[in-house]
């Protein structure tokens, strides 16, 4: 296993590319998904009763299985105390607030990483916009705020909050833009192929903190976490960029500002002394333009074939309320 750390400067902007256990070079597969040209179905969730549903889960439940239409669930401001699942047979759903600061999905659960998430996304072609997704379980153990296990998922302007294992970026190809992700231990973990662009990562750890725990176990897996144009802040000075959950873990940081919260060694092993390094300076070198280019755009996740714009035309074509059985 090879560990590579790369640091360079461009136009006085601090740029860091950090490759964690980059065992081999592998290209991310491309998927071709035709975008719909039809109007999007609008469903409104409002706790006051002025919408189509009072809870987010009820709105999701109302979507037909094996759905093929674009569904836009607009969530009016409020704090929604729900444990939510977007099932695998309900693709093409968007959950959108107006501002993350006033549209909050919250739950309090811990222990198992697959059962504790506040929001679990199992479906493909999912989008979330302007939401706060949080797990308030605290410092007592694993507590997932968001699990993303469907392919082709995108999140914009969301706040994802917990302490340990905040974001289980489980599997599939994902895109995170302008999101705020907060935690202390392995707070971005999993084995997805994901691009994080212009995101803010904040460590709550005062002494020992780890941002990522990527779970790639084979050089033939086209997975990894790529952070481009991000910012890292924190409360202490002992946080590292990551530790290898898998034997072939791959994590890349580029064009990223790092405050002094990041410890000089950069990363730590997973209770394996052979993976420990005292300083990353010895592995530093300057990347050429050609070397860095493949990591700095959406081609890594095939995003140009499936990322879709915000809909501008809606149609009111609602399924019947779930208590009517759709009849």
Tell me the per-residue pLDDT of 77-105, one tens digit each, with 9 for 90 and over. 999 999 999 999 999 999 999 999 999 99
Strands (E), 13-118: 13-19, 40-45, 71-75, 78-81, 84-86, 93-96, 103-107
What pLDDT is stored for residue 11 in this prediction?
A: 26
Residue 291, pLDDT > 80, answer: no
Report the first-to-last Cα separation within the chain, whole angstroms: 58
Q: Is 136 left (phi over 0), alpha (psi -120 to 50) or beta?
A: alpha
Give the residue-averaged pLDDT of 168-177.
97
- The residue whose two tokens read 């929604």 is 80
Residue 193 pairs in a beta bridge with 173, 224
Collapsing DSSP to helix, strand or coil, 133 comes out as strand
Contact 181, 201 (CB under 8 A): yes
Scanning the structure block, which residue is given the tokens 């280019």?
A: 293
57 closest CA partner among 104, 1, 95: 95
Q: Where do the structural domains in the chain lie, given as residue ranges?
A: 4-27+36-320
Q: What is the mean pLDDT of residues 61-85?
A: 96
Q: Residue 281: pLDDT above 90?
A: no
Residues that are catalytic: 165, 186
The matching CATH number, chosen from 2.160.20.10, 3.30.70.1400, 3.30.479.10, 3.40.1180.10, for 4-27+36-320 is 2.160.20.10
Query: Could you tell me which residue, 42 or 289, shows the higher pLDDT?
Result: 42
Of 70-74, 145-149, 221-225, the least confident: 221-225
Compute φ and ψ for 299, nearest 5 degrees: -65, -25
Mean per-residue pLDDT over the chain, rounded: 82
Residue 122 Cα distances to 25, 150, 158, 175, 275, angstroms: 28, 5, 18, 15, 33
Report whether 219 contacts 24 (CB < 8 A). Answer: yes
pLDDT at 99: 97
Residue 193 has pLDDT above 60, yes or no: yes
**Is residue 33 over pLDDT 50?**
no
């Amino acid at each position: 296993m090879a560990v590579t750390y790369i640091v360079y400067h461009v136009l006085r902007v601090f740029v860091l590319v950090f490759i964690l256990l980059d065992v081999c070079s592998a290209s991310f597969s491309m998927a071709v998904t035709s975008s719909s040209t039809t109007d999007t179905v609008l469903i409104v969730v409002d706790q006051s009763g002025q919408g189509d549903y009072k809870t987010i889960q009820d709105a999701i439940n109302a979507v037909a299985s094996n759905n093929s239409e674009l569904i836009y669930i607009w969530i009016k401001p409020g704090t929604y105390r729900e444990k939510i699942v977007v099932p695998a047979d309900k693709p093409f759903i968007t959950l959108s607030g107006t501002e993350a600061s006033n549209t909050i999905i919250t739950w309090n659960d811990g222990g198992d990483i697959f059962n504790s998430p506040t929001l679990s996304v199992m479906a493909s072609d999912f989008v979330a916009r302007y939401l706060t997704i949080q797990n308030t379980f605290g410092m007592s153990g694993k507590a997932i705020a968001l699990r993303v296990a469907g392919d082709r998922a995108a999140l914009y302007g969301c706040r994802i909050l917990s302490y340990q294992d905040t974001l289980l970026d489980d599997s599939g190809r994902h895109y995170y833009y302008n999101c705020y992700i907060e935690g202390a231990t392995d707070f971005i973990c999993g084995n997805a192929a994901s691009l994080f662009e212009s995101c803010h990562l904040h460590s709550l750890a005062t002494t020992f903190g780890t941002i990522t725990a990527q779970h790639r176990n084979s050089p033939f897996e086209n997975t990894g976490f790529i952070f481009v144009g991000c910012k890292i802040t924190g409360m202490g000075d002992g946080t590292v960029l990551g530790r290898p959950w898998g034997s072939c873990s791959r994590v890349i940081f580029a064009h990223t500002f790092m405050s002094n919260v990041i410890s000089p060694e950069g990363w730590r092993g997973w209770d394996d002394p052979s993976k420990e390094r005292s300083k990353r300076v010895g592995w530093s070198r300057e990347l050429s333009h050609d070397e860095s280019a493949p990591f700095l755009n959406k081609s890594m996740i095939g995003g140009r074939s499936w990322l879709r714009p915000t809909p501008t035309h809606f149609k009111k074509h609602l399924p019947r309320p779930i208590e009517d059985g759709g009849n």
